[in-house]
Amino acid sequence: MSSSASNSSHHRKLALIISNGNYSRSNNKISHSANKVNNLAEKLQSISFKVTKYTDIQTDPEMFGNVKKFADEITDGDIILFYYSGQSDHVNNKNYLIPIKDDIIESDRDVEDIATSADKILERLVEKNTSYITLFILDCCKSYMRKAGPKSKNATESKGLREMKLTNGALIQFACAPNQTAPGELYSKHLLKNITKRKATIENIFHSIMNDVYEESNQTQKPLTINGLHKHGETNLNKQIIMIPNIVSDAKWQSQAHTIAGGLGLGTDMNKLNCPQGICIDENQTILVADISNHRIMEYTRDKKEGRRIAGKTTSGYNRGHLSGPLNVINDADSKRFIICDSNNRQVLQWTRGSSKKPKIMIDNVACSGLAMDDEGSIYISDSQKHEVRRYCAGERKGTIVAGGHGQGSRPCQLNHPTYIFVDRDQSVYVSDSWNNRVTKWTKGAKEGIVVAGGQGRGKNLTQLDCPTGVTIDASGAVYVADHWNNRIMRWGKNAKHGDIIAGHRYTSGTDSNQLTGPTGLVFDEAGNLYVSDSYNHRVQRYAIKED
């Protein structure tokens, strides 16, 4: 298959993940096995996998029956992921996955009679999916102990898995090298870290897992990768640019925020900000900040208070390398470019990280307030003077109106000074309709917006907003908005009649760690931690999500 077919959004993604941990024989039990499966399921679901999971399968018929049931759902051209965490053994050059009722396994024959052949599982999955991709992951590093008995006078210990043959269309990865075992949960840690990487090829993902485990184990544990994907070109598991966290409906955040940038008063030093506005974050928790009154874009890496200026000159200007009042910034998914709303210069710039070249003017003559990017790489810009939002596909200069465009007003087809915007994976556009004191949602192709927050006039009640700015959503469709002049962050559940305050001290301003003064930019990381540009306190605050 050519690389032109490599866009994973054209293919269904199905995962079968199995955890066996509660073995009959106590010395074979595996702690946290079920947790690994639950965590992996959550990760895969976040990148649009349909997940089937089983825990503590007791017998071979049950194990293979579940595999066959899953395989019957496969249609040729699907991306398939199989993951097994549990005990294993090998007999006659074949690998076997051990069910939890293992109390009679003494000999090779017992293993063959009671356990499930990994080779047989792979054959079953591949035969249903001959033209595309099967990912086969065996997380089996703990030594398996057979019992002592009449067939075997002494308990014997397995020595890990045997290498499996190369299968076209499949990538196989073992948590350990063949004929080796290892303690701990190192492999699953790095599987979870890498599996959802955006815009990374499958080969790069599994290469990163292998290298990360090898390095962290001080070269004592090296996963085996058997790659039969060469004919498929470059394929992504997660093409998505947009990060939308899974947050439960009753989630809470710590009331005391941690300052991650600024907070030392206004200034031009690398540890200070001056009225920060739009912010964005990548998967490494690197923050970009539009430092509007310092006319620059700042970058803050994790746990470092002092930032780095990556665009602008700290003085207003139009010439090369200068910015004037940057209001917003978004990071391209490959982290090599970022896009800036250079508001006073009425232009949107594309800046290449580390390049000495003049930044590219993408769009000019626009009163840009908000920026967003969809999964196809199209750029969305809110124009606060024309009271509209336009989408610009690659190379376009005129764009297409996707929200507003009927003059200034409060009718469903209108906007009034739109500022921050967010675009979801269906290309619905959420707009902070700031002077209408509401957030509206415009589904793809819609001629009118739907009020999803506020819309009850300017005010402090839970049904009201006062100049909403930053806006984002979670996977459930709940809307989060920076309620600028009420000095708070609000959450509006899907179809809710009122919002709830999740950050800030009611509607009073202040400089304490539980207070905000003019919050503007708003973003989540993948774990659901909340980041807010606390504009008039000249800082960026992080509110940690409370764990169960």
Q: In this predicted structure, which of 152-161, 221-230, 317-326 has the lowest mean pLDDT?
A: 152-161
Across residues 38-52, what is the average pLDDT? 90
Percent of the chain with pLDDT over 90: 68
Q: What is the CA radius of gyration of the chain?
A: 27
pLDDT value at residue 151: 63
Q: Residue 114: is its pLDDT beyond 60?
A: yes
253-545 has the same fold as 13-244: no
278 burial level (CB within 10 Å; 0-12, 13-18, 19+): buried
Strands (E) across 292-397 are located at 296-300, 308-312, 326-331, 337-342, 347-352, 360-364, 368-373, 379-383, 388-392
pLDDT value at residue 7: 40
Q: Residue 303: is its pLDDT beyond 80?
A: no
Q: Residue 200: is its pLDDT beyond 90?
A: no
pLDDT value at residue 1: 25
Helix (H, G, I), strand (E, B) or coil at 41: helix
Q: Which of 48, 49, 60, 59 is nearest to 17 (CA)?
A: 49
Q: What is the DSSP string of 267-312?
A: -SSTT-BSSEEEEEE-TT--EEEEEGGGTEEEEE-TT-SS-EEEEE
- Report how far residue 447's alpha carbon sits from residue 489's, in angstroms, rounded to the nearest whole number: 29
pLDDT value at residue 232: 62
**At 197, is the pLDDT very low, low, confident or very high (cuts 50, 70, 90)?**
confident
Q: Which of 264, 253, 255 is nearest to 537 (CA)?
A: 264
Q: In this predicted structure, which of 3-12, 91-100, 264-273, 472-481 has the lowest mean pLDDT?
A: 3-12
Q: Residue 9: is its pLDDT beyond 50?
A: no
Q: Residue 286: is its pLDDT beyond 80?
A: yes
DSSP lists the bridge partners of residue 541 as 259, 532
Q: In this predicted structure, which of 6-20, 87-101, 386-400, 403-417 has the lowest mean pLDDT?
A: 6-20
More confident residue, 114 or 283: 114
**At 300, is the pLDDT very low, low, confident or very high (cuts 50, 70, 90)?**
very high
Instruction: Give the 3-state secondary structure of 210-241.
Output: HHHHHHHCCCCCCCEEEECCHHHCCCECCCCC
Q: pLDDT, tens digit, for every residue of 329-371?
A: 998 755 578 999 999 999 999 988 777 778 889 999 999 999 9
Could you tell me if 298 and 310 are in contact, meaning their C-beta atoms sit under 8 angstroms apart? yes
**At 152, is the pLDDT very low, low, confident or very high (cuts 50, 70, 90)?**
low
Q: pLDDT, tens digit, for every residue of 487-527?
A: 999 999 998 999 999 999 878 899 999 999 999 999 999 88
- Report how far residue 89's alpha carbon sits from residue 112's, in angstroms, rounded to the nearest whole number: 10
Q: pLDDT, tens digit, for every residue of 434-461?
A: 999 999 999 999 999 999 999 999 999 9
Instruction: Outline where 72-226 has alpha helix (H).
Output: 108-114, 118-127, 186-194, 202-216
The topology under which CATH files domain 13-244 is: Rossmann fold (3.40.50)
Could you tell me if 326 and 312 are in contact, meaning their C-beta atoms sit under 8 angstroms apart? yes
Pairing between β-strand 438-442 and β-strand 450-454 as defined by DSSP bridges:
antiparallel
Q: Which of 386, 389, 360, 391 is nearest to 374 (CA)?
A: 391
pLDDT value at residue 14: 94
pLDDT value at residue 548: 65
pLDDT value at residue 334: 53
Quote the distance between the C-alpha of residue 1 and its chain's center. Answer: 28
Q: Residue 5: is its pLDDT beyond 60?
A: no
pLDDT value at residue 131: 66
The topology under which CATH files domain 253-545 is: Neuraminidase (2.120.10)
Domain boundary assignment for the chain? 13-244, 253-545
Q: Residue 261: is its pLDDT beyond 50?
A: yes
pLDDT value at residue 333: 59
Across residues 133-137, what is the average pLDDT? 92
pLDDT value at residue 507: 80
pLDDT value at residue 20: 95
The mean predicted confidence, pLDDT, of the chain is 90
Percent of the chain with pLDDT over 70: 95
Across residues 165-169, what is the average pLDDT? 88
